[in-house]
Structure 1
């Protein structure tokens, strides 16, 4: 039974768009608001570097590992149902984050947020695909993406004000009106949609992916925060890699029924695009975690000022991405995908001028603006190229996998930043500079990947 056969006409599809925008905004807000609150959160709990890393990664880990399964569950059991469940879980978990009396409970609530996001994100897009057709579908997805960028832009400012005036737990209360609005609209107006034949309910693969990423992340986090390779570090990293190897074996055995069909990797361009995504988003994610943290801890910025400092990012990316998408359709994506990461790396090297008393307009802002320009050059061509590198019937799976790879890049980068987060004063600045140099090198590797592996990459229009 196909998706159309399971749908019931209900309301204007614009209500579906509104519900999906509100639901997905939960994830976009969560991805940007926490960074300005990390110093206050660390001080509140008396947390060490490893605990700060896990505040971030407890959310990223389940989101990265379960994103593909979340879409498959929606195909199988109903996308509206999974959107409602994921949004409800995220909203309740946000309240628990705000009320958590200990770090352990905060980690658990953050993990629940990640699971909720893994369910709501792919199903919000799938519901839009079912509600719209043709050119209107492309417009709806564009509105969905633009709204997410706007939410990511506003969230650090609101979050910074809340941290300054109410306290860091209040940043999680931002999610409550978004979540309740999405639940109400989806429950009343959104039609159910599913396609049981497309559902890849690969529970074994999901478990192995989560365990493998979890073990690897735990070992890297422990190593980066302590600087020592002890028995626990070695054992967890080896176990993590073993689980990931077993995951690949299971996916190969399941063939087209796998959560991640390995047949997609028969194309050199698809491999190159996802390697580029991992490198670029890993480097960029590291910089975006460290910049506001260093501005607050070493530069004397308030959380609001740190949020304002990052404002060029969403503005330039939102303005530049559509322009670069159109240009890449004419000249091909290989050139912007080679140039974009280099520009991001140049912005990171400009960040080496940031010290504890650096003026914003002449030192901090140029570095952030150049990084934003590089991402604006690369984001739209990268997304479209991923869709163009696979058979049309696999575009949903390819897009979901690429999104998961981007988050895994951030996950691994965060796991490696303990050596910086554990420092203070001049040592924090020195560690920050070293991390920026390493991230710039990774950006260069992403550019080299585009040059060497993307010879015949194509683009697909919405």
Structure 2
């Protein structure tokens, strides 16, 4: 059934029925992933009560998803390049949907965490698949419009996620934030089977003048060899070592906050395994060179390395903020899930509306100023939010801080993405973008694992308003400190990408 549509030989135009159908399938599928990335934070207090979960369970509910998504997104793109982008995309949709059903049926926190890991695997298959289908299938003249529409509608789903999730939680149950994916997935599968053509890296690379599709192949690990011909390769060992490294360190940080028992032994053992796997990953990638999942050549340009460190720091702050704010608003301020979702709206609207303008500004004046000023503004928002307490006023205690944080983040997102791509060689554009995406998710994983440990929040303390409020204020300080670190990195180490590339080429 997955091969019921023949391979495409002619590019699709966006105004055609096939073009609209393909774009609809890609947008709706990626929307499910972005929806679940935002809505679960709002549901955390309800999940904790419903499944009698401790803080570590809530951490793994978020980190299990982010971890597999970060670890396997590059591998997911590579599988699509080799075995068929539509085929792997549909497998990802099925995996993500099946995991969503398991999440909704969870009877204990361990069940939910395991299903969230599986959900992340599905997301790692379908997210790069949705973009690569667009890149490989559309006519070059329409490709930019299609990707712009994909980005815009994905932003809308991100913005609506907390609101929709909050309504479902209050009206029905937290389980429905997962069950809602089932009807959406049915529509995605029907649309993809009807309109999405099959393609592989060799097919798209063979089209004359199709340089953009070669870049997309790079997102899955396709490298250009000595003869100049692109061929899909994927580094399973490298992906596995990267996943074990990130998982081991994350497990150690979460378990370190538990007192007594097996945690005292498991935390250092897991941390040691994670560090060894991370070192082995670096050594393996260096030995494989350009055949590696992450070619070391990328890091010969200092700007690329600095920008990815910056990404980890800023996204760690963002995810730490999101994790703590939703729980604080419900368990301390007494907000409903819907009102908590509404509190996130100013930030998502600013990102949706302001990101293109921030990108245009950075193109005119360079990335250093926006990437320096943005975190400083976001820091001001985080410091304002420390005042949230019992019965906090929505308009005076919450909205100003969220607005400032969102404004600062808006100045960062588009300039950072453009700078990462500009800092890499054109033939590595895809893998550079994929690695930066993985870096942002890794930052979130580590922040959610480490912050409760740093602020002394463990066990069932998140249900106790006094202890949670104290931890929340400390967490906002840590998040503000991360933003300040990002601003300092940008101020002293980020230069114009064109200048950096000229110096590296010399």
TM-score for both structures, normalised by structure 1? 0.95
Match of 1:300 in 2: 334
Task: Write the deviation string for residues 225-272 of structure 1: whole angstroms up to 9, x where unpaired.
Answer: 449983321111111011011011111122112111111111111011
Could you tell me how far apart the structure 1 residues matched to 2:497 and 2:256 are?
A: 38
Which secondary structure does the structure 1 equivalent of 2:389 belong to? coil
Which of 107, 113, 131 is the equivalent residue of 1:125? 131
Aligned: 1:313 with 2:350:
no
Could you tell me how far apart the structure 1 residues matched to 2:423 and 2:259 are?
A: 41
Q: Alpha-carbon deviation of 1:12?
A: 2.8
Q: Alpha-carbon deviation of 1:162?
A: 1.5
**Corresponding pairs, count:** 455
Is the 8 Å Cα contact of residues 7 and 197 (structure 2) preserved in structure 1? no
TM-score for both structures, normalised by structure 2? 0.87
Match of 2:54 in 1: 48
Match of 1:444 in 2: 484
Aligned: 1:420 with 2:457:
yes
Q: Alpha-carbon deviation of 1:6?
A: 6.3
Q: Alpha-carbon deviation of 1:44?
A: 0.8
Could you tell me how far apart the structure 1 residues matched to 2:432 and 2:187 are?
A: 30
Match of 1:24 in 2: 30
Which structure: larger Rg? 2
**Alignment root-mean-square deviation, CA:** 1.8
Aligned: 1:186 with 2:192:
yes
Could you tell me how far apart the structure 2 residues matched to 1:441 and 1:58 are?
A: 25
Could you tell me how far apart the structure 2 residues matched to 1:244 and 1:15 are?
A: 42
Gaps of 5+ in 2: 1-5, 203-229, 500-506
Is the 8 Å Cα contact of residues 385 and 458 (structure 1) preserved in structure 2? no
Task: Write the deviation string for residues 66-107 of structure 1: whole angstroms up to 9, x where unpaired.
Answer: 111111111111111111110111011101111122222212
Question: Larger deviation: 349-358 or 88-97?
Answer: 349-358
Which secondary structure does the structure 1 equivalent of 2:443 belong to? helix
Aligned: 1:219 with 2:256:
no
Q: Alpha-carbon deviation of 1:417?
A: 3.2
Aligned: 1:409 with 2:454:
no
Could you tell me how far apart the structure 2 residues matched to 1:103 and 1:122 are?
A: 29
Q: Alpha-carbon deviation of 1:177?
A: 2.2
Could you tell me how far apart the structure 2 residues matched to 1:224 and 1:421 are?
A: 6
Could you tell me how far apart the structure 1 residues matched to 2:177 and 2:442 are?
A: 24
Which of 246, 252, 256 is the equivalent residue of 2:280? 246
Aligned: 1:358 with 2:392:
yes
Counterpart mapping for 1:116-265 below 5 A = 116-134=122-140, 136-196=142-202, 197-226=230-259, 230-265=264-299
Which secondary structure does the structure 2 equivalent of 1:101 belong to? coil
Task: Write the deviation string for residues 6-64 of structure 1: whole angstroms up to 9, x where unpaired.
Answer: 64447632222111101111110011110111101111111111111111111111101
Gaps of 5+ in 1: none
Aligned: 1:399 with 2:433:
yes
Aligned: 1:280 with 2:286:
no
- Distance change in 2, residues 1:137/1:438 (3 Å): same
Is the 8 Å Cα contact of residues 276 and 446 (structure 1) preserved in structure 2? yes
Could you tell me how far apart the structure 1 residues matched to 2:109 and 2:9 are?
A: 44
Could you tell me how far apart the structure 1 residues matched to 2:103 and 2:325 are?
A: 24
Could you tell me how far apart the structure 1 residues matched to 2:268 and 2:293 are?
A: 28
Aligned: 1:39 with 2:45:
yes
